[in-house]
């Protein structure tokens, strides 16, 4: 009789390394390999006589010598090492060729050393972004930057009103970023109607368009009906059919069927099966922010007149997602965390690297991004940070490629936000050093 | 001069005049405005339009559509690079929203549109694929490796690439390798890039070419809208070939969005009371935004205005061919209904008031109208 030992583990394969102490080393793996290459290169350049830089073959020889020293046994690491080093040397070579006729070689050497110094500094910050034991959290970049971004784009609060008001406060500067965070680029993988009523997906372009229609219809020509929860008050209502009226060839059928759930996500409800009206909490939010105006009628009833802004309902969606962050869909979580990871990463780079740094493209390369960002995405999911379900972060390389391709479609407002994060990094670093 | 005898054009101007009369009638019946005097300002503007638009053979339309709208978004030329250059030059942060909307407009007006579903993100992939290389080419195998799904047959991604190449008018070159490294078999690599004259246009701002190194880097400014501009240029030069541009839905979509631009430009600016909360709203910027009446958005007012306006645009852009393709039915009313809520970033709501962001195209068209009205008053 053969004896087969039964495993006592019930966890699914691939979901084992999910503790902080498992993910952090994985995040550090590639970063800690990038830094020595740059430091070594910097040392070699410093030692090299400036005139020798004019001969490009010298650089090739140095690289070949360096490659011989490669003793990495892990294939992925070894490949990355070679790729990274050859990128660094290629960039240096190109820089020399491009400017050797224009700038004295001694200055070129200084520039290269300076750019390498900056890059090492950026990697140093990325390497010490947090503490392995999570001690003195509020002194770590990962924590403060997550909180800085969270406050503006995915605010927390005890209730919806607090969250909403915080988001609204920052909307004049970062509304496009807030809206961007709500719209996963992989929306086509989502289902609008879910058996789990609580699960919130991101906002698809079509749903965004519907919300836009709803906002306009409220402002243009609303009906009014009794406020179910409050006597003597009337709330604005619009006809459900009017929202879907513009769509031809049944292209909004899925949205029409899921209208109850979509309405819930923007603070509305369906009344008498035909009207869309704001729920009580949205009414309170709108009253507080001047999106509803009280008007006393001749019959003594108070009519709440809508005066919505573009962001009124969109920010409710975002506030609800923030409040129910434990119930977000897989696509939505991947999108949010990726944006956070990207903003943190780019913010640090912007702070540490000058705009003309020749090594910027290496940091922004998809191959570098996919080695750093996925782990950063998981780290920001931990309870001290965003408190999102990190098990929903996909590990598939194919998926990473898909979601990282969004980097090509950066919006201007995101770039402005990255500048602000960079300024904040500088300020925080100074304060930290002073203390 | 030929247009003076053009009965179709004359008829279209007449239809617009009738539409204005009907819209004014509808406006008199209802008032959706919060700002005192807004309705009156709108009625007066529509009356002014009734008076001035048919003059000089519809000069205001001809100037606004031919000189402004076409030049910025839909150049009237057969030359691809010239069209692309003009669209690219009209790019500003806010006008990018219009360029995006022109692509999105097709999505809403058509169930299976050119950039629906997964194709939107694919444009981002194209940007990524071009950004990755330093010779401003993409190679079919690189594209498959970057974006192919190992769980799906290769032909999916092949078809996607072919469609994109066609959509953007990319050119291809083939490289035959007699023995490839892996299998020692002959292998054909296809390189795709932009046509030479397009590359010339992209140089400086979007593309940095270093002839010494033989490198071509894309700059930070190179984004998905560069591709959308190419797509628009492609449609504009092929306007006579309905099959190439996606048939009547494309025509209806484009004409409707341009009609919206035209109408928005003609809306009068309202002066608001200094106690109006909109003036204190952080999202309102008095320097580049104007409050405009919102009653034109009411279905009853918009339909009589928009129907002839869409036809006018179609006729000016594509002549009789386009005009016959304007869907004159319930579907058209639905298109009108959805178009009125588009351009949400430049035609936006702030505290229940409709606000127009004063982007160049609105300002230029409004100026044409003002010049003609002022000239008339002086004479």
Cβ(A371)–Cβ(A363) below 8 Å: no
Look at the block and give the residue holding tokens 């140089």.
B203
Whether B349 sits inside 8 A of A219 (CB atoms) is yes
Q: How would you classify the pairing of strands A302-306 and A233-239?
A: parallel
Give the gap in angstroms from C-alpha B145 to the nearest C-alpha of chain A.
10
Q: Ramachandran region of residue A245, left (φ > 0), alpha (ψ -120 to 50) or beta? A: alpha
Domain-embedded: residue B144: yes
What does the block give as tokens for B98?
């219009």
Position B270 scores a pLDDT of 92
Look at the block and give the residue holding tokens 């053969």.
A2
With b for 16 or more beta-carbon neighbours within 10 A and e for fewer, the B232-253 pattern comes to: bbbbbbbbeebeebbebbbbbb
Position A407 scores a pLDDT of 59
Q: What is the mean pLDDT of residues B179-199?
A: 81
- B42 and B135 assigned to the same domain: no
Domain-embedded: residue B60: yes
Q: Which string of DSSP letters, residue by residue, matches B122-152?
A: HHHHHHHHHHH-SBS-EEHHHHHHHH--TTS
- B212 and B272 assigned to the same domain: no
Position A383 scores a pLDDT of 92
Cβ(B107)–Cβ(B113) below 8 Å: yes
**Nearest by CB to B125, which of A172, A290, A405?**
A405
Which DSSP category does B353 fall into?
E
Read off the pLDDT band of B116 (50, 70, 90). very low
Q: Which string of DSSP letters, residue by residue, matches A152-184?
A: HHS---SSHHHHHHHHHHHHHHHHHHHHHHH--
- Cα separation of the two ends of chain B: 23
Cβ(A237)–Cβ(A336) below 8 Å: no
Q: Which string of DSSP letters, residue by residue, matches B21-58?
A: HHHHHHHHH-----STTHHHHHHHHHHHHHHHTTHHHH
**Nearest by CB to A212, which of B121, B298, B344?**
B344
Whether B341 sits inside 8 A of A213 (CB atoms) is yes
Chain B residues touching A175 at Cβ < 8 A: 283
Residues β-bridged to residue A276: A238, A270
- Rounded to whole angstroms, the Cα distance separating A345 from A422 reads 10
Domain-embedded: residue B101: no
- List, in order, residues 6 or more apart from B266 with CB less than 8 Å away: B45, B49, B365, B366, B369
Position A116 scores a pLDDT of 93
Domain-embedded: residue B320: yes
Read off the pLDDT band of B12 (50, 70, 90). very high
Could you give phi then psi for residue B16, rounded to 5 degrees? Answer: -65, -40
Position B351 scores a pLDDT of 94
Whether A398 sits inside 8 A of B109 (CB atoms) is no
Give the gap in angstroms from C-alpha A405 to the nearest C-alpha of chain B.
6
- Rounded to whole angstroms, the Cα distance separating A335 from A341 reads 10
Top residue of B124, B130, B149 to mutate, by most chain A CBs within 10 Å, is B124
Read off the pLDDT band of B125 (50, 70, 90). low
Position A315 scores a pLDDT of 97
- B203 and B138 assigned to the same domain: yes
Rounded to 10 degrees, what is the CA torsion of A235, A241, A247, A252?
A: 90
- Rounded to whole angstroms, the Cα distance separating B25 from B27 reads 5
Chain B residues touching A209 at Cβ < 8 A: 108, 338, 341
- B166 and B202 assigned to the same domain: yes
Question: Minimal Cα distance from A216: which residue of B?
Answer: B341
Position B117 scores a pLDDT of 45
- Rounded to whole angstroms, the Cα distance separating B227 from B225 reads 5
Chain B residues touching A409 at Cβ < 8 A: 123-124, 127, 223-224
Residues β-bridged to residue A225: A235
- For residues B145 and A228, the model is more confident at A228
Top residue of B349, B353, B354, B356 to mutate, by most chain A CBs within 10 Å, is B349
Top residue of A165, A218, A248, A418 to mutate, by most chain B CBs within 10 Å, is A248
Predicted confidence (pLDDT) at residue B109 exceeds the cutoff of 70 = no
Q: Per-residue pLDDT for chain A (435 aa), expressed as one digit of tens each?
A: 455 555 555 545 555 557 888 889 989 988 888 888 888 888 888 888 877 777 778 778 887 777 776 665 666 677 777 788 888 888 888 888 888 888 888 888 899 999 999 999 999 999 999 988 878 888 999 999 999 999 999 999 999 999 999 999 999 999 999 999 998 877 777 776 665 667 899 998 889 989 999 999 999 889 999 999 999 999 999 999 888 877 776 677 778 788 888 999 999 999 998 999 999 999 999 999 999 999 999 988 999 999 999 999 999 999 999 999 999 999 899 999 999 999 999 999 999 999 888 888 888 877 788 888 889 999 999 999 999 998 888 887 777 766 666 654 567 888 899 999 999 999 999 988 887
Positive/negative CA dihedral, A307, A311, A312, A314: positive
Whether A219 sits inside 8 A of B354 (CB atoms) is yes
Interchain CB contacts (distance < 8 Å): A and B:
130
Domain boundaries, chain A: 20-146+329-434, 197-315
- Rounded to whole angstroms, the Cα distance separating B8 from A278 reads 48
Whether B120 sits inside 8 A of A407 (CB atoms) is no
Look at the block and give the residue holding tokens 């490659």.
A67
Cβ(A401)–Cβ(B147) below 8 Å: yes
Give the gap in angstroms from C-alpha B376 to the nearest C-alpha of chain A.
34
With b for 16 or more beta-carbon neighbours within 10 A and e for fewer, the B320-353 pattern comes to: eebbebbbeeeebbbbbbbbbbbbbbbbbbbbbb
Residues β-bridged to residue B350: B353
Whether B147 sits inside 8 A of A402 (CB atoms) is yes
Which DSSP category does A380 fall into?
T
What CA–CA distances, in Å, run from A345 to A20, A120, A392?
Answer: 19, 14, 21
Position A303 scores a pLDDT of 95
Predicted confidence (pLDDT) at residue B120 exceeds the cutoff of 70 = no
- B265 and B319 assigned to the same domain: yes
- Rounded to whole angstroms, the Cα distance separating B189 from B155 reads 16
State pLDDT tens for residues B243-266. Answer: 777 777 778 888 888 999 999 999
- Cα separation of the two ends of chain A: 69
Cβ(A337)–Cβ(A388) below 8 Å: yes
What does the block give as tokens for A342?
């990207």
Q: How would you classify the pairing of strands A223-226 and A233-239?
A: antiparallel
For chain A, what percentages of helix, strand and coil (3-state, to nearest 5) are there? 65, 5, 30
Top residue of A91, A183, A219 to mutate, by most chain B CBs within 10 Å, is A219
- Low-confidence winner among A212-221, A287-296, B163-172, B357-366 (lowest mean pLDDT): B163-172
Give the gap in angstroms from C-alpha B126 to the nearest C-alpha of chain A.
8
Report helix angle B247-266 to B360-378, nearest 10: 60
Nearest alpha-carbon partner for B296 in B61, B15, B26, B13? B26
Q: How many CB atoms within 10 Å of residue A431?
A: 11
Per DSSP, helices labelled H in A71-204 are: 75-99, 105-127, 141-153, 160-182
Top residue of A289, A309, A346, A398 to mutate, by most chain B CBs within 10 Å, is A309
Domain-embedded: residue B91: no
The CB-side HSE value for A43 (13 A sphere, CA atoms) comes to 7
- Rounded to whole angstroms, the Cα distance separating B133 from B139 reads 10
Domain-embedded: residue B253: yes
- List, in order, residues 6 or more apart from B241 with CB less than 8 Å away: none
Cβ(A330)–Cβ(A381) below 8 Å: no
What CA–CA distances, in Å, run from A244 to A209, A247, A259, B259?
Answer: 11, 6, 10, 22
- B213 and B322 assigned to the same domain: no
Angle at A406 between CA A404 and CA A407, to 5 degrees: 80
- B170 and B250 assigned to the same domain: no
- B279 and B308 assigned to the same domain: yes
For B168, the 3-state DSSP assignment is helix
- Rounded to whole angstroms, the Cα distance separating B187 from B175 reads 8
Give the gap in angstroms from C-alpha B328 to the nearest C-alpha of chain A.
14
With b for 16 or more beta-carbon neighbours within 10 A and e for fewer, the A181-198 pattern comes to: bbbbbbbebbebeeeeee
Cβ(A186)–Cβ(A327) below 8 Å: no
Nearest alpha-carbon partner for B205 in B221, B189, B217? B221
**Nearest by CB to B124, which of A98, A245, A409?**
A409
Nearest alpha-carbon partner for A179 in A284, A306, A291, A319? A319
**Nearest by CB to B334, which of A219, A245, A366?**
A245
- B270 and B215 assigned to the same domain: no
Angle at B335 between CA B331 and CA B341, to 5 degrees: 155
In chain B, how many domains are there? 2
Chain B residues touching A215 at Cβ < 8 A: 349
Position A196 scores a pLDDT of 62
Angle at A312 between CA B287 and CA A251, to 5 degrees: 110
Position A243 scores a pLDDT of 87
- B43 and B130 assigned to the same domain: no
Whether B351 sits inside 8 A of A366 (CB atoms) is no
- Rounded to whole angstroms, the Cα distance separating B357 from B269 reads 11
Cβ(A341)–Cβ(A403) below 8 Å: no
Cβ burial of A272 (10 Å; 0-12, 13-18, 19+) is exposed
What does the block give as tokens for B208?
């940095």
Cβ(B210)–Cβ(A99) below 8 Å: no
- For residues B168 and B340, the model is more confident at B340
Question: Minimal Cα distance from B117: which residue of A?
Answer: A188
Longest CA pairwise span in chain A (Å): 92
- B160 and B253 assigned to the same domain: no
For chain B, what percentages of helix, strand and coil (3-state, to nearest 5) are there? 60, 10, 30
Domain that holds residue B301: 2-74+239-378
- Rounded to whole angstroms, the Cα distance separating B52 from B320 reads 25
């Amino acid at each position: 009789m053969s004896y087969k030992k039964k495993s006592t583990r019930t966890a699914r394969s691939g979901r084992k390394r999910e503790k902080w102490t498992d993910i952090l080393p994985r995040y550090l793996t590639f970063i800690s390999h990038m830094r020595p290459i740059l430091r070594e290169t910097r040392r070699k350049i410093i030692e090299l006589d400036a005139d020798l830089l004019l001969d490009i073959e010298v650089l090739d020889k140095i690289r070949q010598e360096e490659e011989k020293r490669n003793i990495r046994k892990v294939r992925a690491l070894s490949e990355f090492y070679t790729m990274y080093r050859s990128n660094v040397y290629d960039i240096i070579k190109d820089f020399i060729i491009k400017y050797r006729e224009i700038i004295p070689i001694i200055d070129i050497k200084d520039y290269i050393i300076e750019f390498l110094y900056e890059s090492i500094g950026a990697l140093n910050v990325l390497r010490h972004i947090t503490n392995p034991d999570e001690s003195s959290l509020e002194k770590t970049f990962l924590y403060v930057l997550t909180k800085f971004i969270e406050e503006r784009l995915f605010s927390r609060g005890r209730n919806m009103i607090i969250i909403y008001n915080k988001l609204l406060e920052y909307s004049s500067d970062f509304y496009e970023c807030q809206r961007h965070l709500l719209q996963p680029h992989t929306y086509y993988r989502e289902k609008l109607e879910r058996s789990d009523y609580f699960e919130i997906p991101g906002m698809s372009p079509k749903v965004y368009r519907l919300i836009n229609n709803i906002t306009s219809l409220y402002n243009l020509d609303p009906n009014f009906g009794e406020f179910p929860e409050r006597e003597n008050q009337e709330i604005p209502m619009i006809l459900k059919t009017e929202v879907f009226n513009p769509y031809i060839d049944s292209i909004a059928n899925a949205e029409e069927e899921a209208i109850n759930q979509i309405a819930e996500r923007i603070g509305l409800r369906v009344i008498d099966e035909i009207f869309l009206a704001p729920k009580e909490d949205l009414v309170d939010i709108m009253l507080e922010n001047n999106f509803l105006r009280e008007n006393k009628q001749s019959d003594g009833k108070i009519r709440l007149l809508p005066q919505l802004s573009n962001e009124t309902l969109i920010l409710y969606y975002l506030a609800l997602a923030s409040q129910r962050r434990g119930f977000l869909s897989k696509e939505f979580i991947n999108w949010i965390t990726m944006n956070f990871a990207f903003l943190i990463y780019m913010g640090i780079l912007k702070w540490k690297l000058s705009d003309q740094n020749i090594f910027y493209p290496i940091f922004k390369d998809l191959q570098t991004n996919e080695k750093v960002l996925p782990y950063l995405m998981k780290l920001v999911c931990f309870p001290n940070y965003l408190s999102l379900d990190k098990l929903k972060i996909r590990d598939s390389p194919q998926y990473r490629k898909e979601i990282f391709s969004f980097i090509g479609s950066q919006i201007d407002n995101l770039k402005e936000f990255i500048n602000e994060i960079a300024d904040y990094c500088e300020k925080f670093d100074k304060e930290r050093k002073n203390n | 001069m030929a247009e003076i005898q053009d009965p179709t054009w004359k008829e279209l101007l007449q239809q617009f005049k009738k539409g204005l009369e009907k819209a004014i009638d509808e406006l008199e019946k209802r008032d959706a405005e919060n700002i005192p005097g807004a309705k009156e300002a709108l009625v007066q503007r529509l009356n002014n339009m009734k008076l001035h638009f048919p003059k000089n053979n519809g000069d205001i339309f001809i100037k606004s559509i031919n000189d402004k709208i076409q030049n910025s978004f839909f150049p009237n030329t057969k030359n691809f690079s010239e069209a692309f250059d003009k669209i690219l030059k009209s790019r500003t942060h806010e006008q990018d929203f219009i360029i995006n909307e022109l692509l999105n407009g097709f999505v809403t007006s058509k169930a299976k549109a050119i950039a629906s579903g997964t194709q939107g993100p694919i444009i981002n992939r194209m940007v990524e694929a071009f950004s990755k290389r330093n010779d401003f080419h993409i190679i079919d195998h690189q594209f498959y490796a970057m974006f192919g799904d190992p769980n799906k047959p290769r032909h999916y991604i092949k078809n996607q690439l072919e469609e994109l190449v066609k959509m953007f008018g990319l050119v291809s070159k083939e490289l035959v390798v007699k023995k490839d490294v892996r299998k020692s078999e002959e292998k054909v690599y296809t390189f795709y890039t932009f046509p030479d004259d397009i590359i010339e246009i992209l140089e400086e701002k979007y593309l940095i070419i270093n002839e010494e190194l033989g490198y071509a880097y894309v700059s930070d400014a190179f984004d998905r809208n560069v591709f959308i501009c190419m797509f628009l240029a492609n449609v504009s030069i092929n306007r006579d070939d309905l099959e190439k541009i996606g048939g009547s839905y494309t025509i209806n979509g484009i004409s409707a969005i341009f009609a919206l631009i035209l109408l928005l430009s003609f809306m009068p600016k309202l002066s608001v009371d200094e106690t109006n909360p909109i003036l204190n709203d952080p999202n309102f910027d008095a320097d580049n935004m104007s409050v405009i009446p919102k009653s034109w958005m009411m279905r009853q007012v918009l339909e009589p205005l928009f129907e002839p306006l869409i036809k006018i645009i179609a006729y000016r852009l594509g002549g009789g061919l386009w005009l016959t393709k304007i869907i004159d039915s319930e579907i058209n009313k639905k298109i009108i209904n959805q178009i009125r809520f588009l351009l949400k970033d430049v035609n936006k709501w702030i505290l229940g008031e409709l606000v127009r962001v004063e982007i160049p195209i609105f300002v230029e068209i409004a100026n044409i109208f003002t010049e003609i009205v002022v000239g008339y008053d002086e004479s």
